[in-house]
Amino acid sequence: MDRHERSLKLVVDHSSTERRVCGLYLITDDGDRLLERVREALSGGVKIVQYRDKIRDYSDRVALGSELKWLCRQYGATFIVNDHVQLALELDADGVHLGQDDGDAVAARRMLGDKRIIGVSTHNLEEALAAQEAGADYVGLGAIFPTGSKDVPRTVGPQMVAQVKAQLRIPVVAIGGICRDNAGAVIDAGADAVAVISAILGAREPALAATEICLLFNRTAPFPRGKVLTVAGSDSCGGAGIQADLKTITLLGSYGASVITALTAQNTKGVSAIHAPPASFVAQQLEAVLTDLQIDVVKVGMLFSADIALALAQALQSYQLRMLVLDPVMTAKGGTELLAKVALNSMKQRLIPACYLFTPNVPEAERITGMEIYDEEGMERATRKLHLMGARNVLLKGGHLTGGTVTDILFDGTTYHRFSAPRTLTRNSHGTGCTLASAISAYLAQGEPLPVAVQKGKKFVTAALRLAQPLGKGHGPVNHFLAAREQAGQSIENQE
Choose among 484, 41, 2, 18: nearest CA to 254: 484
Q: Exposed (0-12), middle (13-18) or buried (19+): which is 273, by Cβ within 10 Å?
A: exposed
- pLDDT tier at 8, thresholds 50, 70, 90: very low
Q: Report the C-alpha dihedral over residues 109, 113, 116, 119, rounded to 10 degrees.
A: 0
Instruction: Go through the chain and tell me how many residues it has.
Output: 496
Does 150 participate in catalysis according to the annotation? yes
Per-residue confidence (pLDDT) for residue 10, from 0 to 100: 34
Residue 1 has what pLDDT?
Answer: 42
Active-site residue flag, 272: no
Using the predicted structure, report yes or no on whether residue 354 has a pLDDT greater than 50.
yes
Helix axes 306-318, 279-290, angle to 10 degrees: 20
| Three-state DSSP string of 187-236 | HHCCCCEEEECHHHHCCCCHHHHHHHHHHHHHHHCCCCCCEEEEEEEEEC
Tell me if 329 sits within 8 A of 308, measured CB to CB. no
- Does residue 433 surpass a pLDDT of 90? yes
Tell me the domains of the chain and their CATH numbers: 3-220 (3.20.20.70), 227-487 (3.40.1190.20)
Q: Would residue 52 show up in a list of annotated catalytic residues for this protein?
A: yes
- Strand ranges (E), 403-454: 405-411, 416-422
pLDDT at site 153? 73
pLDDT band for 205, please (50, 70, 90 cuts). very high
Mean pLDDT of the chain: 92
- At residue 49, the 3 state secondary structure works out as strand
pLDDT at 352: 95
Q: What is the pLDDT of residues 211-269, one digit of tens each?
A: 999 999 999 999 999 999 999 999 999 999 999 999 999 999 999 999 999 999 999 99
Select which of 19, 37, 52, 109 is catalytic: 52
| DSSP 8-state code for residue 354 | G
pLDDT digits (tens, 9 = 90+) for 355-413: 999 999 999 999 999 999 999 999 999 999 999 999 999 999 999 999 899 999 999 99
Predicted confidence (pLDDT) per residue in 172-195, tens digit:
999 999 999 999 999 999 999 999
Q: What is the spatial distance between Cα 31 and Cα 52, in angstroms, rounded to a whole number?
A: 12
Q: Which of 150, 169, 204, 473 is catalytic?
A: 150
Catalytic residue, chosen from 61, 69, 116, 121, is 121
Q: What pairs with residue 406 in β-bridges? A: 421
The answer to whether the Cα torsion of 377, 379, 380, 381 is positive or negative is positive
Q: How far apart are CA 327 and CA 437, in angstroms?
A: 6
* Listed range (131-135, 149-153, 158-162, 367-371) with the worst mean pLDDT: 149-153
